[in-house]
Chains A and B, each alone.
Chain A
Amino acid sequence: MIDPLTARPDRPGPIAGRAALAKLAAALLIALPLVLSIDVVSASVALLLEIPLLLLAGLGAREFWTRTAVLWIAAPLGAVTIALYGATSGTIHLEWFVIRISDGSLALAAATAVRVLAIGLPAVVLFVTVDPTDLADGLAQRVRLPARFVVGALAGMRMLGLLTEDWRALALARRARGVADQGRVRRALGMAFALFVLAIRRGSSLATAMEARGFGGTGPRSWARESTWDRRDTLLVIVAAIIPAIAIAVAVLTGAWNFILGPTA
């Protein structure tokens, strides 16, 4: 059922319907503390605790894997970098020029991989269900960011949807004009530039249209949609704060805590 006033789309589960601001806060609260340490324990504990969150977020399986695909690629790649060049400690297994694979660097590599997942997965999942208008309402009404900027940015952001269609048309045009056979990079740059021009021209027209509807004036502005915050939003934020807290506590207790600005980082 869609409430005509708030008009939030339908997704199953208790999380998808939470205020966008709550989801943003939750993602930040999970991520920031986990960044402070690079060890397998805190990252793994956090990841385990996040699983219920991921399952309840309201994403279908296909959507989940498509959206998080980047993470599943980036985690091992980041790990490889650290394995090859991370701080050395323990037995050195391989040395070649500046590459040094050691016990320490391997441990850091594993930690990095899990950390990417622990930080990235909840963020992607939470953000996928964020409605931009909802977020803008929250930022303007609750966080009190200036309305002109929030709404102006929201309007400009909608352009993203139009741009993908233009890309396709640009590619077809290049094929039709005989220049699509070689120089893929050069062509892509040319297309990207054409996209920029289109986007800016549209943006200027959009600005005029917004001014024609009275936007940008000096008088007070009202809000058609009320940005709500209820107990369930607070609950989400609390849960998001607890997850890294537990993870860090476990890491500290088992001695695995490895502060990133510390001596052995």
Chain B
Amino acid sequence: MTSPTTPATLEAHGWGWRYATRLRWAVREVDLRIEPGERVLLLGASGSGKSTLLQGFGGVLGGADEGETHGALRVDGRAPTEARGRVGMVLQDPDTQTILARVGDDVAFGCENLGVPREEIWPRVRQALDAVELDVALDRSTAALSGGQKQRLALAGVLAMRPGAILLDEPTANLDPQGVADVRDAVSAALDATGATLVVIEHRIDIWLPLVTRVIVLGADPAGTVVLADGTPEQVLGARGAELAASGVWVPGHPPVVPPAPAQRPGETLIEARGLTVARRRGLAIAGPFDLDVRAGEVVGVTGPNGAGKSTLGLTLAGLIPAESGSVTALPALASDEKADPFRWSSRALLTRIATVLQTPEHQLLATTVRDELSVGPRALRLSAEEIATRTDELLARLRLASVADANPYTLSGGEKRRLTVAAALATRPRMLVLDEPTFGQDATTWAELVGLIARLRDEGTAVVAISHDEAVLDALHARRVVVGR
């Protein structure tokens, strides 16, 4: 009883949208037509409005109290809000797209909303899960899935609605390499099965290029949002490759600039780990035993598959969680007059010795302005007001945060928040820095900036432990590898 999906036509006629909280129009006077069955890669610098355009097509932008609009968007000739079910969207964050607790229920959710009769729902659910190659039981808990699995689950939920258009807004940005590949394959299989129209926004485009037939580049100029380029991937990337790379897209053939190799040999050893096994919860060792040294002027790269325990190892070396067995010893060069086990140190003692930047910036925002955020550490050290001001100003300049110095940290963009958390860690001049996935989800420009910053810190003599599933980061930093898990 499967009705074939007719691919949808997407059109924009002089359309614009301005959020109620912004002065600038996010999108203005954009004219576009996407034919049924086309596969489009939508690119553009941040601020060009591509995400807003996609959300407009998805009909999720909100009503009159959330923004103003002009012009029209059409899905098969109808307004997007009336064409519910014709368009399916997969968004960036895996965690906020799992709606129900069990896999089967979550996939069935879209069908329920469209009023599909019960007899038809469960066959569609099974078909959709097969289409995305998600081979889990229907009663499996959605919270137990990995990021890549959750995104595929979201895609399955979309496919079960039999949409004519599939819109993907950075679906792989928050995933590890395995997850990225899985999602890409799932989308490819889904398109082969349904022939739906595809519009995808991503900054890591190499995996999507083989899949798409058309690339559209959006840009903003005084007149409004303009289509800067529109054509086949070869045409657009050939003509605008360098420009796109400069705006943060990972264009094949235009890799970001990597810092030079370290000029000096590593210095003294700061932390020694011997026979170290690590655990997220007491008694449940997940990785180890490790024997490693963390030395000044060197980057230790912790890598391995998702869930293997990379972060746990990093947090243990940083003195934030206790070792399960074995030892983490801070040598006198680092510990000075403190005890040997960093986990026993007070929070203040950690400040000048080991700083940690966690994976999610939102977990680390403590103050109400960016400037205050940077001064949290120095104030805990009881530094003088002048010293605090000097350090803060220096960091604001160094990490290009001066323009948002008085803004609330939560209102910063993703890249800015990341720079902020790194800056805050550096405010107390630690001798060792532990970074958990520093370039996660970032575009090429921020990637290059952070990698460059870490390299400079290394060259200044800081010991760095970088946890990353992105091999390119560790290569760029000439890191000494520690592999966790098989």
Contacts and interface: CB of A to CB of B under 8 A. Distances in A.
Question: Touch between A and B in complex, CB under 8 Å?
Answer: yes
Contacts, number: 173
Contact of A224 (B85, B118, B143): B118
A161 B143 CA distance: 8
Interface string A142-178: 0000000000001100100110001001101111111
A188 interface: no
- On chain B, which size bracket covers the interface? 35 or more
B96 A173 contact: no
Contacts of A176: 318, 320, 347, 350, 355-356, 358, 364, 425
Interface residues of A, number: 52
A94 interface: no
B358 A173 contact: yes
A143 B358 CA distance: 46
Interface stretch (B24-32, B104-112, B175-183, B294-302): B104-112
Contact of B101 (A158, A175, A202): A158
A208 interface: yes
Contacts of A181: 346-348
A178 B366 contact: no
B363 A214 contact: no
Interface stretch (A1-9, A18-26, A105-113): A1-9
A221 B376 contact: no
A239 to B, nearest CB: 29
A226 interface: yes
A210 B99 contact: yes
A220 B355 contact: no
A213 B425 CA distance: 40
Interface string B3-29: 000000000000000000000000000
A225 B117 CA distance: 11
A223 B105 CA distance: 10
A7 B139 contact: yes
Contacts of A131: 101
Interface in B153-174: 154, 157-158, 161
B219 interface: no
B154 A222 contact: no
Nearest to A198: B362
A225 B105 contact: yes
Contact of B113 (A173, A190, A214): A214
A132 interface: yes
A221 B376 CA distance: 51
Given A162-B143, A176-B355, A194-B362, A214 B428 contact: no
Nearest to B380: A178
A94 B320 CA distance: 52
Contact of B114 (A162, A173, A214): A214
A216 B58 CA distance: 14
19 contacts: A7-B104, A133-B101, A133-B102, A158-B101, A169-B358, A174-B347, A175-B320, A177-B376, A177-B380, A194-B362, A208-B91, A210-B109, A212-B58, A212-B60, A212-B91, A213-B157, A213-B158, A223-B118, A224-B111
Lowest 8 CB-CB distances: which A-B pairs, in order? A214-B113, A178-B380, A205-B96, A7-B139, A224-B108, A180-B347, A213-B110, A212-B89
Given A158-B100, A213-B99, 5 more contacts: A169-B360, A194-B363, A205-B96, A222-B112, A224-B121
